[in-house]
Structure 1
Amino acid sequence: MSDGIKGEVAIAGIGTAGLGEADGYTEMEILAQAATRAVADAGLSMADIDGIATCSSSATMWAMPVVEYLGIRPSFIESTMLGGSSFLAHLLPAILALKSGQCNAVLVCYGSTQRSAQFGRKDGVRARAMLDPQPYEQPYQPLSPITSYALAAQRHMHAYGTTRRHLAEVAVAARRWAQLNPEAAKRDPLSIDEVLGSRMISDPLSLLDCCLVTDGAGAYVLLRSDRATELPQKAVYLHGAATAVWNRQISSMHDLTVTAAAESGPRAMKMAGVTHKDIDVLELYDAFTINTLLFLEDLGFCKKGEAPDFVEHGGIAPGGHLAVNTNGGGLSCIHPGMYGIFLLIEAVRQLRGVCGERQVPEARIAMVHGNGGTLSSQSTAILSNERYW
Structure 2
Amino acid sequence: MTGHSAVIASAVEVPYTRHPEGDETTERLLTSAVRQAVEKAGLAIEDVDGLGVSSFTLKPDHAVDLALRSGLALRWIMEDTNGGASGVNMLQHAVRAIEAGDAETIVLVAGDRMTASDFKSVVDEYNAITRDYVTPLGMGGPNAMFAMLTQRHMRRHGLDEKAYGAVAVAQRRWATINPGAVYRTPMSMDDYLDSPVVASPLRRFDCVPPVTGADAIVITRQDHIQDGSPAVRVSAIGGSVNWDRHEGDGLRTGLGRVAPELWNRAGLRPTDIDVISVYDDYPVMVLIQLEDMGFVPTGSLFDITDRLLHDQWPVNTSGGQLSAGQAGSAAGMHGLVEAVIQLLGEAGERQVPGARTAAVSGYGMVTYRYGSCANLAILERV
TM-score by length of 2: 0.90
Query: What residue is the counterpart of 1:182 in the other structure?
Result: 179
Aligned partner of 1:243: which letter?
G
By how many angstroms is 1:106 displaced? 0.5
AA aligned to 2:113 is T
Give the equivalent residue in structure 1 for 2:237. 241
CA RMSD of aligned residues (A): 2.4
Cα distance in 2 between the residues matched to 1:133 and 1:325: 29
Aligned to 1:278: 272
Contact 1:14 1:220 in 2 (8 A): yes
1: CA distance, partners of 2:71 / 2:304: 48
Give the corresponding residue for 1:360: 352
Given the alignment, which residue of 315, 321, 330 partners 2:321?
330
Matching residue's letter, 1:294 = I
Say if 2:341 is the partner of 1:377. Answer: no
Q: Deviations over 1:67-123 (max 9, x none)?
A: 1211212111121311111011111111111111111100100121103xx346545
* Matched letter for residue 151 of structure 2: Q
Written as runs of structure 1 = structure 2, the 5 A alignment for 1:296-311 is 296-302=290-296, 306-311=300-305
> What SS does the aligned partner of 1:316 have?
helix
Q: Distance in 2 between matches of 1:304 and 1:140?
A: 42
SS at match of 1:32: helix
- The answer (yes or no) to whether the contact 2:54–2:111 under 8 Å persists in 1 is no
- Structure 1 CA distance for aligned equivalents of residues 117 and 332 of structure 2: 25
3-state SS, counterpart of residue 324 of structure 1 = coil
Q: What's the CA shift for 1:356?
A: 2.2
Indicate how the Cα distance of structure 1 residues 26 and 332 shifts in structure 2: closer, same or farther if over 3 A, else same: same
Any conservation in 2 of the 1:50–1:74 contact (CA below 8 Å)? yes
Residue number in structure 2 paired with 1:162: 159
- The alpha-carbon deviation at position 154 of structure 1 amounts to 0.7
Please give the alpha-carbon distance, in whole angstroms, between the structure 2 residues aligned to 1:209 and 1:66. 34
Q: 2:144 — aligned with what?
A: 147
State the distance in 2 between where 1:289 and 1:83 align. Answer: 18
CA distance in structure 2 between the partners assigned to 1:301 and 1:18 by the alignment: 31
185-194 or 135-144, larger mean C-alpha shift: 135-144
Query: CA–CA distance in 1 between the matches of 2:166 and 2:206?
Result: 10
Distance 1:223 1:121, change over 3 A: closer
Stretches of structure 1 lacking an aligned partner (at least 5 in a row):
none
Listed one character per residue, the Cα deviations across residues 187-244 of structure 1 (whole Å, up to 9, x for unaligned) are 111111221121111111111111122111111110122323358x421111111121
For 2:169, the aligned partner's letter is V
Query: Bigger CA drift: 361-370 or 121-130?
Result: 121-130
**C-alpha distance 195-328 of structure 1, shift in aligned 2 (>3 A):** same
User: Corresponding residue for 1:294?
Assistant: 288
- Runs of 4+ with >6 A deviation: none
Sort the Cα spacing of 1:267 and 1:352 in 2 relative to 1 into closer, same or farther, 3 A: same
Note if contact 2:124-2:130 (Cα within 8 Å) is conserved in structure 1.
no
2:46 partner amino acid? A
Q: Secondary structure at the match of 1:377?
A: strand
Counterpart selection for 2:201 from 195, 200, 204: 204
Does the 8 Å contact 2:123/2:141 carry over to 1?
Answer: no
- Aligned 8 A contact 2:281 2:322 in 1: yes
Q: Output the amino acid matched with 1:154.
A: Q
Greater shift after overlay, 121-130 or 376-385? 121-130
Are 2:350 and 1:351 equivalent residues in the alignment? no
The separation in 1 between residues aligned to 2:94 and 2:61, in whole angstroms, is 19
- Cα offset for 1:55? 2.0
Q: State yes or no: 1:9 paired with 2:6.
A: yes
The answer to whether the 8 Å contact 2:2/2:100 transfers is: no
Report the identity percentage.
Answer: 32
Q: Which runs of 5+ in 2 are unaligned?
A: none
Distance 1:267 1:334, change over 3 A: farther
Question: Residue in 2 aligned with 1:22?
Answer: 20
